[in-house]
Structure 1
Amino acid sequence: MSVVNTPLFSQRTSGVLLHITSLPGAHGSGDLGAESYHFVDWLVSAGQRLWQILPLSPVGPGNSPYHSPSTFAGNPLLVDLNEFVRCGWLSPRSDATFAPGHCDFDRLVPYRMERLRETWQGFLRQAQPSDWTEFEKFRAHQAYWLEGYALFMALEAQHGKPWTQWPEALAQCDPLALAEAGGRMADDLAFFSFIQWRFTVQWQHLREYARVRGISIVGDAPIFVAHHSADVWLNQDQFHLDEHGEPTVVAGVPPDYFSDTGQRWGNPLYRWDAMAEDGFDWWKARVTHLLALVDGVRLDHFRGFESYWEIPAAQPTAAAGHWRHGPGKVLFDALATIVGQHGPGTPLPIIAEDLGVITPAVTALRQECGFSGMRVMQFAFGDTPANPYLPHNFEAHTVAYTGTHDNDTSLGWWQTASAAERHAARSYLGPLVDTEIHWAMMQSISQSVANTVVFPLQDVLGLDGNHRMNTPGVAQGCWQWRFEWHQVRDDPTRRLADLTRAHGRNLPMTA
């Protein structure tokens, strides 16, 4: 059947992929301060209409935003400290000088959290009554997730262990134990809530700044959640866990061409039957909350909603797993009851990440839901002309990329490509590949019929593999890349604007 796109992905548009931590910044990483507003201005000057980011949630192990302690919370590391100096809640300091370049999370995290604690103390001393009123309104409105998240973070800070190793009453969410802990840790709960309040205020200011300048923001939603998270701790009956709260089965992908043992991700798996019994309320709350922050969402590992790879938790690799049926369209029918910005009956503004080995059943589910799929050009070469990642095979309901956050940069890919891939790329793209592979690939997907194209900033700037954001399966050294404004010269900005204009992707968005 034909796909009926949401308005956001039904028009010819162009955008740039850049996570907020990759922005320049004086405090060790990008944040919601002045540099993020400057980047919106740059997007406008480059003729773009979309800014795609990675998950806004707090980072987890390996500093990954895909292994977060909460799918609802905002990342404290993104909060603009300079705002607090202007408010008088935080004294200016120059004792932590972070060099330009990659994020040093080992220094960044303790420094930022210390400064946020200082801000909280300053707020307690100097906040105006109107500030307290707004803060308490936020806590009341967001209580459905905020209270549990704040308590989870306070208990994590106290115990320093996974929640399954907390005292049994706390691990099992005994109401009396939680109430006692909440009363004893009231200041910590208020502190973690305060961070979320300021994150939300700052984020919505930035989003409004982008909106009035014609920039829509596309967020990201991982399909699975981390075991050590408020989401699992507070909803244990909706995950496959044993009596001690440990997963009985975990997520991953089966053995394939790239790995004889597959990938064992380790996330606990959902009890889709239990979620269906309450009408998928947790998913409704999650998607509603996210769509209050962004204009569209890339839904990661979409094929897992049709069928997913279930691995016994005791197995060290993914080889012993089995396929299990996912919830299918019944979940998305439930989510469709959410009244979004375009009203009921309009498909949710979702990009289905349908990369890898995709079965006809997965494609049929995506089409029935009205979601755009993804195409990544780095996967296009070394195969037959029928390769779905070649731009002449795109369909209109497609979001096309040169690469994603999980890929090498296009220049890095070219420098390590096989002889067969290079030959196929030269044949398809022409001689420009030997000098400017990134522009050759960007031009090819931009002039395709795909409604939406997105370029990683690294490709716009022509950067090599040293500027890669993430390497799947590598636990350390990822998520650290940052750019500096001196790399963003006039020439790539002009060329991107010209490319976008030539292919009719710079027109204002219509409702």
Structure 2
Amino acid sequence: MKKAGVLMPVFSFPGKYGIGTLGKEAYSFIDVLRDTGNKIWQVLPMGPTGFGDSPYQSFSAFAGNPYFVDLEALIEEGLLTEEDLEDPEEFDFGDGEAIALLKTLWQKKAWEGDEKARNLLSTLNQGIDKYEEEDSPFKVNYGKIYVSKFKALKLAFENYKKQGGKIDKIYKELRPETVEYCVFMAIKNNYFGASWDVWPEDLRDCEKAAVEEFKAAHKDEIDFYAFIQYLFNKQWGKLHEYAKIKGIEIIGDIPIYCAPDSADVWAHRELFQYTVKGEPKKVAGVPPDAFSATGQLWGNPLYSWDVHKKTGYEWWLSRMDYCLEMYDTLRVDHFRGFEAYYAIPYGDETAENGEWVPGPGMDLFDAMTKHYGRKDLPIIAEDLGIITDEVKELMKKTGFPGMKILQFAWDSGPDNAYLPHSLTTPNCIYYTGTHDNDTLKNWFETLPDWIRNYMYMYMSRSHNDWNAMPELLIRLSMSTVADTVIVPAGDYLGLGAEGRINTPGTSGGNWQWRMSKGAFTDEIKRKMSEIVGVYGRYYHKEEAAPVEETTPEDESLLEEESF
């Protein structure tokens, strides 16, 4: 049966405390998918993010994002209180709530004659426009989230210990690579956030004696990060189980490369192309093309594939184990890098001097087939961009479905491979757009007239259909032969530029969009159901027994069996 799904980042859910989480709104979204006949929820990478807040640059390939831990669940478990988090002088999650509470608090004190409060109120009022611009329930303020979320989690951790929580048992639930991340973050914090390549030499080089000495001296900080991962795993596990009960499949997403400043590179430098002094030899990117005269310099460290091969691809198999425990299917970014990767000399300021170097090819996927005992691995290959015959051959050998993007279909005439009539196989995922595309509405409204006119002709429509175009384009996508069609949530909601998730090549303003509460109205859900149903993609699952529609009740963190 053909399928349909929705792309929705976790950080984009509405709710309290400044950012989307694994809490009630995530459960409600799964209900929306079930109620509208959608089968799939696609997420973005869910690792812990750093500078720039991109989910594609994570501190670890084996850890969850602390920002996604639901604080309301911790309140229900008695590890936090609402009063704790609603103190505006302690917590500001960047959603505008703290500013309003502070204003009320300082007004009251000013009326009582508090001169300091009067001065603070005056300062706040003078800068209120700036605060209102930065703070919104519809946009993540990562600077404030970083401060307040970790402060809240630290408070929960202290309460957990006071209530007799067993730290040692937490570690039994964590993978060794996740524990490496916990140590990495504790060292990083000890050196004020500095990247590992400028740490003291013995820690930089991950020397066992130095690391063990640090672990002994900073056990509590490492335990704190382990506690966060335990919470993340517990909350995600329950959410994933709820999705399974409702018949919803979750597609995860992993970048092919690790971030330079990551626990993966620090703890396993031998698996990457580094010098003994801790500098990359060459870094990742893509060559110059029609869109960029100097290419794209990503800067990620490259794998030492010969070393991976000697280990039987042990690290990659472990990474796949971790990801396939979290997700039902996995989208792998920049798949063409497995056939050949673009290597740029470290220190170059552009990607012009790079060269193509053979990757592991089918050897890696043969190792996965042997490891899992199956050839039909649940992998989606991101095969966008300029794809060579060699990459096409690798795709054919693996049998992985590729990706087709509606927004890429209209600028080169009827031979464009992304046009609906050009699809040659159902073994693909058709998207109206990805996280890197504009919303359908804003994209269509800002197209050159000649492209819009071609679209009208293609669909036998006219300028009179301007306002209906986002819906018509979704319908066109659903009508293709593709086995699966995925639509970003913002397209179903008819959002303009405010709903864009990321603009490649820009810094700031990305990964911030948050949906308004109740955005999926009954009318929108009715329309979604109709669209997926008309094109034979409506999924309905008969549930074996009644299931609570609300978030499953969490057990206490203090119960030993929960470990």
TM-score, structure 1 normalization: 0.94
Aligned to 1:6: none
Which of the numbers 500, 506, 511 marks the counterpart of 1:479? 511
- Structure 1, residues 190-216: CA drift from partner, whole Å, max 9, x if none? 110010001000001001111111111
- Any unmatched runs of 5+ in structure 2? 97-136, 543-563
Q: Which deviates the most, 484-493 or 472-481? A: 484-493
Aligned to 2:440: 410
Q: Retained in 1: the 8 A contact 2:153–2:228? A: yes
Q: Retained in 1: the 8 A contact 2:429–2:482? A: yes
Q: Secondary structure of the equivalent of 2:256?
A: coil
Aligned to 1:389: 418
Q: Distance in 2 between matches of 1:260 and 1:420?
A: 25
Aligned to 1:5: none
Q: Distance in 2 between matches of 1:244 and 1:427?
A: 60
Q: Output the amino acid matched with 1:18.
A: M
Q: Secondary structure of the equivalent of 1:231?
A: helix
Q: Output the amino acid matched with 1:423.
A: N
Aligned to 1:125: 162
Which of the numbers 444, 451, 458 marks the counterpart of 1:421? 451
- Structure 1, residues 348-398: CA drift from partner, whole Å, max 9, x if none? 111100011111111111121110000000000021312110111222001
Q: Retained in 2: the 8 A contact 1:354–1:373? A: yes
Q: Distance in 2 between matches of 1:430 and 1:142?
A: 56
Q: Which deviates the most, 167-176 or 92-101? A: 92-101
Q: Map residues 153-168 of structure 1 onto 2, 5 A cutoff.
A: 153-160=185-192, 161-168=194-201
Q: Retained in 2: the 8 A contact 1:288–1:338? A: no
Aligned to 1:7: none
1:305 is aligned to 2:338: yes
Which of the numbers 457, 468, 472 marks the counterpart of 2:500? 468
Q: Distance in 2 between matches of 1:337 and 1:436?
A: 49
Q: Retained in 2: the 8 A contact 1:139–1:146? A: no
Which of the numbers 378, 397, 407 marks the counterpart of 1:349? 378
RMSD of equivalent CA atoms: 1.5
Aligned to 2:176: 144
Q: Output the amino acid matched with 1:88.
A: G
Q: Map residues 318-357 of structure 1 onto 2, 5 A cutoff.
A: 318-339=351-372, 344-357=373-386
Aligned to 1:3: none
Q: Secondary structure of the equivalent of 1:16?
A: strand
Q: Distance in 2 between matches of 1:303 and 1:509?
A: 36
Q: Which deviates the most, 360-369 or 415-424? A: 415-424
Q: Secondary structure of the equivalent of 2:371?
A: coil
Q: Distance in 2 between matches of 1:469 and 1:55?
A: 13
1:289 Cα shift? 0.4
1:241 is aligned to 2:285: no
Q: Output the amino acid matched with 1:437.
A: M
Q: Retained in 1: the 8 A contact 2:428–2:482? A: yes
Q: Which deviates the most, 476-485 or 89-98? A: 89-98
Which of the numbers 44, 51, 58 marks the counterpart of 2:34? 44
Which of the numbers 203, 209, 216 marks the counterpart of 1:176? 209
1:143/1:459 Cα in 2 relative to 1: closer, same or farther (>3 Å)? closer
Q: Secondary structure of the equivalent of 1:311?
A: strand
Aligned to 2:118: none
Aligned to 2:491: 459
Q: Distance in 1 between matches of 2:360 and 2:76?
A: 49
Which of the numbers 61, 65, 74 marks the counterpart of 1:84? 74
1:360 is aligned to 2:362: no
Question: What percentage of residue pairs aligned between the two structures are identical?
Answer: 40
1:448 Cα shift? 1.0
Which of the numbers 134, 138, 152 marks the counterpart of 1:115? 152
Q: Distance in 2 between matches of 1:364 and 1:217?
A: 28
- Any unmatched runs of 5+ in structure 1? 1-10
Give the total of aligned pairs. Answer: 491
Q: Secondary structure of the equivalent of 1:292?
A: helix
Q: Distance in 2 between matches of 1:454 and 1:138?
A: 37
1:507 Cα shift? 3.1
Q: Distance in 1 between matches of 2:150 and 2:540?
A: 40
Q: Retained in 1: the 8 A contact 2:34–2:540? A: no
1:295 is aligned to 2:323: no
1:23 is aligned to 2:27: no
Aligned to 2:461: 431
Which of the numbers 80, 105, 125 marks the counterpart of 2:142? 105
1:94 is aligned to 2:86: yes
Q: Distance in 1 between matches of 2:23 and 2:40?
A: 19
1:214/1:263 Cα in 2 relative to 1: closer, same or farther (>3 Å)? same
Q: Retained in 1: the 8 A contact 2:438–2:500? A: yes
Aligned to 1:398: 428
Q: Output the amino acid matched with 2:77.
A: C
Q: Distance in 1 between matches of 2:248 and 2:519?
A: 22
Aligned to 1:498: 530
- Structure 1, residues 89-112: CA drift from partner, whole Å, max 9, x if none? 112231346241100111111100
Q: Distance in 2 between matches of 1:485 and 1:91?
A: 23
Q: Distance in 2 between matches of 1:45 and 1:430?
A: 32
Aligned to 2:45: 55
Q: Output the amino acid matched with 2:298.
A: W
Aligned to 2:520: 488
Aligned to 1:228: 261
Q: Output the amino acid matched with 2:244.
A: R
Q: Distance in 1 between matches of 2:139 and 2:168?
A: 37
Which of the numbers 481, 496, 499 marks the counterpart of 1:449? 481
Q: Retained in 2: the 8 A contact 1:220–1:300? A: yes
